[in-house]
């Protein structure tokens, strides 16, 4: 999976705090987020955390490179919710996970975490049709990510956006999912693009 915009890690982290509803002046860094995620204290209880982990694995599964689980995204996302997210965003995220579990139980008779990959995909496809359906923002406000429209389930949008954003903050995404050159190499006036070519995490070759 390729992120559709070119941002450095600082910009990505700033975007993550915006999505989480954190204050603009919040003090956070990739190192601080990683450190908090390793302390063992969690915002989500066991079952919601497992549901969120299963969701993250569906959004960015492991392929020829590690996915969201390999990049420790669930722990990072939980740390974001615990320490930097607003109360509103926390509440919305929890409600979204409850709704996802309810949808799985209704459609397949089992919690989302107990389903096969194919059944999770089927449930998630139908769930997203409803959850991400655009709706007008309330008068005088902007949508959850700063846009003039909103979606039916802003908590799910927050979770999905954070999974993707936090993944692309990881060393795994920067060095394995993408091509990382800390110092641009020699000038290449013409580079052959192939279907399997990975995007550059840095500003790329010249």
pLDDT in tens, 112-154: 999 999 999 999 999 999 999 998 877 555 555 554 458 999 9
The pLDDT assigned to 28 comes to: 74
* Residue 106 scores a pLDDT above 50: yes
DSSP letter for each residue of 14-64? HHHHHHTT--TT----HHHHHHHHTS---SS-HHHHHHHHHHHHHHS--SS
State the pLDDT at residue 32: 78
Cβ-Cβ contacts under 8 Å for 83 (sequence gap 6 or more): 36
Q: pLDDT-derived band of residue 91, with 50, 70 and 90 as boundaries?
A: very high
pLDDT for res 153: 95
How many CA within 13 A on the CB side of residue 24? Answer: 0
Position 4 scores a pLDDT of 42
What is the per-residue pLDDT across 44-78, written as a single tens digit (0 to 9) for each? 999 999 999 999 999 999 988 889 999 999 999 99
* Range with the poorest average pLDDT among 48-62, 82-96, 113-127, 178-192: 178-192
Position 185 scores a pLDDT of: 60
pTM of the predicted model as reported, rounded to 2 decimal places: 0.75
Query: What pLDDT digit, counting tens, does each position of 17-31 carry?
Result: 888 877 554 567 777
> Strand, helix or coil at 103?
helix
pLDDT given for residue 35 in this prediction: 82
């Amino acid at each position: 999976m390729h992120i559709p915009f070119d941002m450095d890690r600082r910009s990505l982290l700033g975007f993550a705090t915006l999505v989480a509803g954190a204050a603009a002046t919040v003090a956070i860094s990739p190192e601080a987020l990683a450190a908090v995620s390793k302390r063992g204290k969690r915002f989500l209880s066991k079952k919601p955390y497992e549901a969120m982990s299963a969701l993250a694995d569906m959004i960015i599964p492991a392929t020829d490179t590690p996915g969201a689980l390999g990049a420790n995204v669930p722990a990072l996302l939980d740390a974001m919710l615990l320490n930097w997210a607003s109360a509103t965003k926390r509440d919305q995220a929890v409600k979204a996970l409850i709704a996802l579990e309810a949808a799985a139980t209704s459609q397949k008779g089992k919690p989302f975490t107990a389903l096969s990959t194919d059944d999770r995909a089927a449930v998630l496809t139908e769930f997203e049709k409803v959850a991400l359906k655009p709706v007008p923002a309330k008068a005088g406000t902007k949508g959850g990510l700063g846009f003039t429209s909103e979606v039916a389930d802003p908590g799910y949008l927050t979770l999905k956006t954070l999974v993707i954003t936090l993944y692309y903050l990881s060393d795994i995404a920067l060095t394995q999912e993408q091509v990382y050159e800390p110092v641009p190499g020699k000038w290449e006036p013409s580079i052959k693009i192939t279907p399997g070519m990975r995007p550059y995490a840095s500003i790329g070759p010249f």
